[in-house]
């Protein structure tokens, strides 16, 4: 079974903020974390990931900086800001509420 990208599309920012809330990271590692957390069931394409990074940075939810790699290419790292942590907390509350409502709507029964 494959998860619909439409189900996840509206939660991309929350997914990224959740990963960055666990520690600073760079694009490839965030993408890898998404695959791992979804048990290989979901992959965020590179264009969507970097578009989300730019949007979140513009909003002030994340900051970027260049790493000091001694080997290989320099990596651009991202960190969540305190504003981003607040945004994440709100998004998680909204997710929990929506999950409950949708579950009731899909599995609930109306007594007539």
The per-residue pLDDT for 7 is: 80
Give 25-80 pLDDT, tens digit per residue.
999 999 999 999 999 999 999 999 999 999 999 999 999 999 887 777 889 999 99
pLDDT at 19 over 90: yes
Number of domains in the chain: 1
Evaluate whether residue 65 is within a structural domain.
yes
For residue 26, the enclosing domain spans: 5-107
Let me know if residue 112 belongs to a domain. no
- CATH classification of the domain holding 62: 1.10.10.10
d(CA 37, CA 39): 6
Distance CA 92, CA 86 (A): 10
Say if residues 84 and 17 touch (Cβ distance below 8 Å): yes
Q: What separation in angstroms does the CA of 2 have from each of 33, 35, 43, 61, 107?
A: 18, 13, 11, 30, 21
Establish if 43 belongs to a structural domain: yes
């Amino acid at each position: 079974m494959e998860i619909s990208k439409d189900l996840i599309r509206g939660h991309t920012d929350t997914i990224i903020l959740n990963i960055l809330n666990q520690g600073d990271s760079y694009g490839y590692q965030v993408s890898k974390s998404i695959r791992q957390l979804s048990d290989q069931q979901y992959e965020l394409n590179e264009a969507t990931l970097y578009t989300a990074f730019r949007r979140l940075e513009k909003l002030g939810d994340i900051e970027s900086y260049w790493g000091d790699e001694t080997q290989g290419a320099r990596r651009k790292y991202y960190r969540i800001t305190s504003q981003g942590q607040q945004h994440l907390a709100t998004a998680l509350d909204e997710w929990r509420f929506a999950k409950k409502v949708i579950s009731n709507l899909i599995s609930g029964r109306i007594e007539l």
